[in-house]
Structure 1
Amino acid sequence: MQQWTEAMRAGRYEDAWAMEAATLAARNPATRDDPALPYHLRWVWDGRAVDGRDVLVRCYHGLGDTIQFARYLPLLARRARGVTLEVQPRLMPLLAGIGVDRIVPFDVARPLPPADCDIEITELPRAIGVAPDRVSAPYLAWPAADLAPGTVGICHIAGDWDPERSVPAELFRTICERHPCIMLAAGETTLPCRNPQGCPLDMEETAALVSAVDLVITVDTMIAHLAGAMGKPTWLLLKAEPDWRWSPGRRDSPWYPAMRLYAQPSAGDWRSVLTIVADDLARFRSTRA
């Protein structure tokens, strides 16, 4: 896994895909899409070509993963005979125009039966053989909410499964006091922002807010992928050793051209990160003005 992560971060995608091919060749075919495993631990694609086949794309991971890899769906649609996307119901409106033949809600209790070629959405890069920086963003769009010009969107909360990704809300107080901000995280907040009640748990309303702001400052969670996929200037706050898709030694990302990375200098040090972000934000706002 470490070698694969290093290859992906370095942009050596052919090397990473070769490792994936070796892993697939060593797997027992009987364990494919194993119902005994949680969905996010299953492997689905058996390595067959997608060209000229009816392909069923299953979305077994999180909302952010689906948004990140949805960039490959139009390319898949041009090569396959037909594409069905079995996706989390919350994402169906956002992906309605992505270019596949059919979109159906993923029911964890009753998934669709197998098709000519089944693949999990995160397996698409190797199946198609296209690097992420070869697929341009934005590839998602949504009508903007009515917000004042210059508004900054903030998301400081990540998923419960990795609390180290979250930033203490109080570290954003200075930013919220100096700039017009809205929260892109659910739940009430005491920070001085335009929506102290927090962001609604509604994907369409969230996308409208992201579309309307000048900038998104977020931790590593679904909001980062949504903003990146919409081409919104996005500042991503990362823990010292982040997820495989982000390189802590870089400020940019091949996944999202409009994204800037801010990694902790040492584990747990969010204060230094927010100090740099506050300074950069002042310059950003000055340039926009």
Structure 2
Amino acid sequence: MADVKAGKKIEPFAGIPVYYYSCTKCGFTFSTQFDEWTPEMFRQYVYNDNYIHHDPDYFSTRLKKNVFLLSQNFPEIAPGSILVYGAVPIDNAFQIRLQEAGFGDVTSTGPESYPSLAGKKFDTILAFDALEHHPEPRQLFENLVSLLNHDGAILFSARLADFPENSEASNKTLLLPRNGYVSLHTRESLSILASEFQLSLESFDSHDFYALFKPDRPAWANKYFPHDQPDAAREMLRGREIVTSDITLYEPIQAALRTAAEGHVSEAIRILDNLLETQPFNRDLHMDRGLLRMKSGAIADALDDMEYFYKGSMISQRGVFRDLKARASEFEGKLVVIVSDAGIGDLLWLVRYGVLLHEVGVRVVVECNPIFHSLFDNASWITHAAAVGDVPIPFLYRIPLHNLPGAFETRRETIPSFPHYLAASEEKIAYWKARLPASRKIRVGISWRSSNERTSGWASKRSMDLSMLLGAFDPEKYDCVVVQKDLNEAEREIIALHEWIHIPTGEINCIEDTAGLLSCMDLVVSTCTMIPHLSGALGIPTFLMLSTNASWVWMTEGETTPWYAAMKLFRQHTLGDWQPPVAHLGHALREFTRGN
């Protein structure tokens, strides 16, 4: 099923069952199917020419991200000797990229070429995406330890197979023999192996990045894992990799999120405050509280929490653009890559920070899904829209989208707001004008729910019933245009009963297609989806219908937002009760009619 996970079925099923076993003590999950395989068999059946189709990120996105991770966070290792220990015998691409980034003494090896290194020692060993491919974990650790200097470090990534019981995640999602996944570790199995070889195991973040140290640690390790931390604090730091693996935290966190979704954000923050009193080093709790603080409008406090989350992490970039205009000479002509690490709406919302960079002469590249490229190519302040993983090197910073507010030390009073910062091309606008019926009435684009029919849980509470929304409009004064995709049959039946509601006949294949359609509107009315972010970025007047569970972007109070100048907010006071905001919307539409 590896190629299914990669996006589509590429090769037919071989019809050979592959059995995995899980240790009842440590959770280590493995298959014995490949124990007798030779390197030639792995090359023929797994690491062949088709391998890239099963794991396309291996050679592009992950490779570049790993080089960035090391160059940004571990410059101290660059002068030393480095060994790249890989499991997939394809090429030396990682070594070449590292050398291009300034890491000089780099050697590559794998299970086959390991014997040729006998007697050699290295300051740093990199084993990214290697452990899950190796059928003999103890042999692998023995090889790595034998090659490591007494004060060296092994930096590695590992897809852990331990998840909380009844979690939606499962180690079954990692059982991919076609990918060569034969050894799936847990935190416990890694700890056992580390102990056997007199190594200490540390984790850098909440995902899959780890370090192994001999007793004589390298000097740089102290900035991430200081020896002067009290024992209890150090243990808490070690246990921060998967917060939901602590079952005692799972329910209180869910209770806080439910409380916030019901509109009681201050109470939800207090729940997390209490949890943090007992677990002050838990980074995920800090992030959850930071998002809720952002929703409450306490942006400075929110960024403090988020800074703690990223402290000692691979993506900490707090304050790097502080006092940007006063430091313009440092940035002029430099390249900054904004990385889309979130959904469509968040990218449309936060990409605005690129305007501030452009104003001081920075060349801005946005690394994102191709569906954005034509829209971003219209923006004069964006130098280039690049595919994920396909960015030029060198760059000054490659900064994840959600780090931008912290990078600028944003406060409520300094939120960057522009009349508009994106625009559809004249060709796209003309395309849609030709497909919309002529009208002398006010034209309104409407969107009332996520286009994903499978949306459920708290997120579904942001949607509203189409009939209720339509009740706010006067058909004599408004023509409504449906600007969302994937209508269901019931919605089409409702629309067919109203000649003043139109479904566009054109095709929407990218974000700029939607931008062109919205640009033909006098007004946009929408619930909390990507639509209001796009209309707001285009500078189109927008009325936004907000449930109590709306995104933290919109905060909890006020009829306007500091993020978009032409937007008005209509809020629920009770979760699920749309009648008051719809009544408010009806009044605002009458006022809009008088003004237009």
TM range (shorter): 0.7 to 0.9
Tell me what 1:13 maps to: 299
Within 2, Cα distance between the matches of 1:272 and 1:199?
A: 35
Tell me what 1:105 maps to: 387
- What letter corresponds to residue 294 of structure 2 in structure 1? M
Q: Which moved more, 1:223-232 or 1:279-288?
A: 279-288
Within 1, Cα distance between the matches of 2:505 and 2:298?
A: 40
Give the Å deviation of 1:137.
2.9
- What letter corresponds to residue 95 of structure 1 in structure 2? F
Tell me what 2:106 maps to: none
Within 2, Cα distance between the matches of 1:283 and 1:4?
A: 37
Within 2, Cα distance between the matches of 1:247 and 1:23?
A: 21
Q: Counterpart of 1:100 in 2: which secondary structure?
A: coil
Tell me what 1:84 maps to: 365
The answer to which structure has the higher helix fraction is 2
Aligned CA distance change for structure 1 residues 268 and 45 (closer, same or farther; 3 Å): same
1:157 correspondence with 2:157: no
Runs of at least 5 residues in structure 1 that lack an aligned partner in the other structure: 30-43
Tell me what 1:267 maps to: 575
Aligned CA distance change for structure 1 residues 151 and 15 (closer, same or farther; 3 Å): same
Tell me what 2:37 maps to: none
- Counterpart among 230, 236, 256 of residue 538 in structure 2: 230
Q: Which moved more, 1:45-54 or 1:136-145?
A: 45-54
- What letter corresponds to residue 117 of structure 1 in structure 2? Y
Within 2, Cα distance between the matches of 1:81 and 1:252?
A: 31
Aligned CA distance change for structure 1 residues 199 and 122 (closer, same or farther; 3 Å): farther
Within 2, Cα distance between the matches of 1:206 and 1:280?
A: 25
- What letter corresponds to residue 214 of structure 1 in structure 2? D
Aligned CA distance change for structure 1 residues 286 and 79 (closer, same or farther; 3 Å): closer
- What letter corresponds to residue 105 of structure 1 in structure 2? A
1:280 correspondence with 2:588: yes
Q: Deviations over 1:22-51 (max 9, x none)?
A: 222154x4xxxxxxxxxxxxxx45558365
Give the Å deviation of 1:177.
6.2
Give the Å deviation of 1:154.
0.3
- Counterpart among 112, 117, 123 of residue 403 in structure 2: 123
Within 2, Cα distance between the matches of 1:95 and 1:19?
A: 31
1:174 correspondence with 2:471: yes
Tell me what 2:508 maps to: 201
- Contact between 1:185 and 1:198, CA under 8 Å: does it hold in 2? no
- What letter corresponds to residue 538 of structure 2 in structure 1? M
Within 1, Cα distance between the matches of 2:361 and 2:403?
A: 15
Give the Å deviation of 1:70.
1.3
Tell me what 2:415 maps to: 133
The higher radius of gyration belongs to 2
- Contact between 2:352 and 2:416, CA under 8 Å: does it hold in 1? no
Within 2, Cα distance between the matches of 1:64 and 1:228?
A: 11
Give the Å deviation of 1:216.
0.6
- What letter corresponds to residue 280 of structure 1 in structure 2? A
Give the Å deviation of 1:176.
5.6
Tell me what 1:49 maps to: 320
Report the count of equivalent residues: 270
Q: Which moved more, 1:147-156 or 1:247-256?
A: 147-156
Q: Counterpart of 2:568 in 1: which secondary structure?
A: strand
Give the Å deviation of 1:63.
1.1
- What letter corresponds to residue 128 of structure 1 in structure 2? F
1:187 correspondence with 2:498: no
- Contact between 2:473 and 2:586, CA under 8 Å: does it hold in 1? no
- What letter corresponds to residue 151 of structure 1 in structure 2? R
Q: Counterpart of 2:464 in 1: which secondary structure?
A: coil
Q: Counterpart of 1:249 in 2: which secondary structure?
A: coil
Q: Counterpart of 1:261 in 2: which secondary structure?
A: strand
Give the Å deviation of 1:153.
0.9
Give the Å deviation of 1:286.
2.7
Give the Å deviation of 1:212.
1.6
Identity %: 24
Runs of at least 5 residues in structure 2 that lack an aligned partner in the other structure: 1-286, 322-329
- Contact between 1:64 and 1:226, CA under 8 Å: does it hold in 2? yes
Tell me what 1:63 maps to: 344
- Contact between 2:338 and 2:367, CA under 8 Å: does it hold in 1? yes
Q: Which moved more, 1:150-159 or 1:161-170?
A: 161-170
- Contact between 1:83 and 1:102, CA under 8 Å: does it hold in 2? yes
Q: Deviations over 1:129-165 (max 9, x none)?
A: 3456333231112244425351011001125262111
Give the Å deviation of 1:66.
0.7
Q: Counterpart of 2:551 in 1: which secondary structure?
A: coil
Within 2, Cα distance between the matches of 1:245 and 1:231?
A: 18
Tell me what 2:562 maps to: 254
Question: What's the RMSD between the two structures over aligned residues?
Answer: 2.8
Q: Counterpart of 2:381 in 1: which secondary structure?
A: coil
Aligned CA distance change for structure 1 residues 272 and 11 (closer, same or farther; 3 Å): closer
Give the Å deviation of 1:111.
5.8
Aligned CA distance change for structure 1 residues 81 and 184 (closer, same or farther; 3 Å): closer
Q: Counterpart of 1:66 in 2: which secondary structure?
A: helix
Give the Å deviation of 1:17.
2.4
1:72 correspondence with 2:353: yes
Give the Å deviation of 1:167.
1.0
- What letter corresponds to residue 469 of structure 2 in structure 1? F
- Contact between 1:45 and 1:118, CA under 8 Å: does it hold in 2? no
Within 1, Cα distance between the matches of 2:361 and 2:514?
A: 32
Query: TM-score, structure 1 length as denominator?
Result: 0.81
